Amino acid sequence: MSSAFQIGRIARIPIRLHITFLAIIPIVAYIFSTFTATTSVTLFGEVYDLAYGFNAIEPPEARWAYSFAFSILLFLCVALHELGHSFVAMRYGIKIRSITLYIFGGVASMEDIPRDPKMEARMAVAGPGVSGIIGLGCVLLSFQSALLLGGIHPITTLLWTLGVINIVLLVFNLLPAFPMDGGRILRAWFATRMPYVEATRRAAGIGKLFAILMAFLGIMGSPFLILIAFFVYIAATDEERATSIAVPLEGVKVKDIMSMDLRTVSPETGLPDLINLMFHEKHRGYPVMEGGRLAGIVTISDVQKVPEVKRSTTAVGEIMVKSIYVIEPNADAAEAMKKMAERQIRRLPVMEDGKLVGIVSRSDLLRAIEICSGW
């Protein structure tokens, strides 16, 4: 069962909510309903009385209504922030799979991150730029509503609070904590001076330092900051690892590394014969052919699921995996690695014109990475 569900589309981009998002809405509403901070701002000779937070709104039903409205609008702003990244990416021909809203913010799932530093910098700046525009617009509207409604008013408070938070998001996202937007800008700057993998490694190292600093500050009074620090650290580590894998494989095709000397089995093959084959040939998986077509794939993990007492009477066709993910020989090797990681599998049959022409395994890819990294 997926932990996120789709709620709609914007510009053909699926917008998804993670289940954690459902928890953060009432939490944010509660936090902003428990306090009010008033301030006076002078602009062009005019003095504006403004409030931040909704605790002063009466009756309680109205206070909670405005608090929930604010929390929903805030995460709508987060979605618009991610759409800013996405629209710039689409201008450069990058496909956006989806935008998912999590407890800590939004994430745009892209087919790839551009290697051009200028392109990546523009994409990274677009999100904070949207937050800045929204923030400034809400602040100006709050001034206007303060004049029209006679000072502090729930609508004015809502606009001012939303504006201030979006400006805070602008500043926060520009921190050089990779893979946040500021960290991506930093990587783009590094990438103009050194190889892309090294640029990623340096930006990720700085991002991890910021995550540790955020965690330390969170220990002193902000559990939410600890949560953000955790995600930043994990995301920086994952992207550093993914880049170190993808970059060496650039330009390498599946046909360059796949195994063409195929040994296949049939659905009628008994498990004792299959186990004997695996033992002598030292392969952990085999394509299953039936009537000249690929019917499935069987691996050592499928065999291990069968109790030993039943293995002598079990055939491959009873345990093989029929839902097969395949790849074409002209596909990028990096795409094969991505498919294996997403599907949690270790090998992909290679199909061309409906025929099985090879198989590419995780070992083949790791060997290619090792060789290409040494060039």
Query: Which of 343, 73, 107, 115 lies closest to 231 in space, CA to CA?
Result: 107
- For residue 24, is it within any domain? yes
Please tell me which residue, 99 or 155, carries the higher pLDDT value.
155
Supply the pTM of this predicted model.
0.74
The reply to whether 47 and 154 lie within a common domain is: yes
- For residue 140, is it within any domain? yes
- For residue 38, is it within any domain? yes
The CATH number of residue 349's host domain is 3.10.580.10
Which of 336-372 are b and which e, b meaning 16 or more Cβ less than 10 Å from the residue's Cβ?
bbbbbeeeebebbbbbeeeebbbbbbbebbeebbeeb
Residue pair 218/224 in contact by the 8 Å Cβ criterion: yes
The reply to whether 146 and 16 lie within a common domain is: yes
The reply to whether 260 and 320 lie within a common domain is: yes
Q: Determine the pLDDT at residue 188.
A: 93
Tens digit of pLDDT for each residue in 146-173? 888 877 789 999 999 999 999 999 999 9
Domain closes at, from 221, 247, 273: 247
Please report which confidence band the pLDDT of residue 374 belongs to, taking 50, 70 and 90 as the band edges: low
Q: Determine the pLDDT at residue 268.
A: 93
**Mean pLDDT comparison of 36-40, 48-52, 247-251, 314-318, highest-scoring range:** 314-318
The reply to whether 170 and 96 lie within a common domain is: yes
- For residue 179, is it within any domain? no
370-302-290 Cα angle (round to 5): 95
Count of domains in the chain?
Answer: 3
The reply to whether 336 and 224 lie within a common domain is: no
The reply to whether 162 and 288 lie within a common domain is: no
Tens digit of pLDDT for each residue in 211-262? 999 999 888 877 778 888 888 888 888 888 878 777 787 778 999 989 887 8
Query: What's the rounded mean pLDDT across residues 100-112?
Result: 71
The reply to whether 196 and 225 lie within a common domain is: yes
Q: Residue 348 has which token pair?
A: 């992909």
Residue type, 285: G
Residue pair 108/85 in contact by the 8 Å Cβ criterion: yes
Query: Residues with catalytic annotation?
Result: 82
The reply to whether 113 and 221 lie within a common domain is: no
> CA 148, CA 115: separation in Å to the nearest integer?
50
Residue type, 200: T
- For residue 325, is it within any domain? yes
Domain closes at, from 220, 247, 274: 247
Please report which confidence band the pLDDT of residue 104 belongs to, taking 50, 70 and 90 as the band edges: low
The reply to whether 90 and 233 lie within a common domain is: no
> CA 117, CA 31: separation in Å to the nearest integer?
39
Residue pair 84/127 in contact by the 8 Å Cβ criterion: yes
Q: How many CA atoms lie within 13 A of 329 on its CB side?
A: 13
Q: Which stretches within 6-59 are classed as H helix?
A: 19-33
Residue pair 349/323 in contact by the 8 Å Cβ criterion: no
Asked whether the bond before 179 is cis by omega within 30 degrees of 0, the reply is yes
287-290-293 Cα angle (round to 5): 75
Domain that holds residue 194: 184-247
> CA 151, CA 204: separation in Å to the nearest integer?
46
The reply to whether 24 and 108 lie within a common domain is: yes
The DSSP line for 107-159 is: EEEES---S-HHHHHHHHHHHHHHHHHHHHHHHHHHHHHHHHHTSS-HHHHHH
Domain closes at, from 247, 264, 292: 247
Q: Residue 9 has which token pair?
A: 């589309």
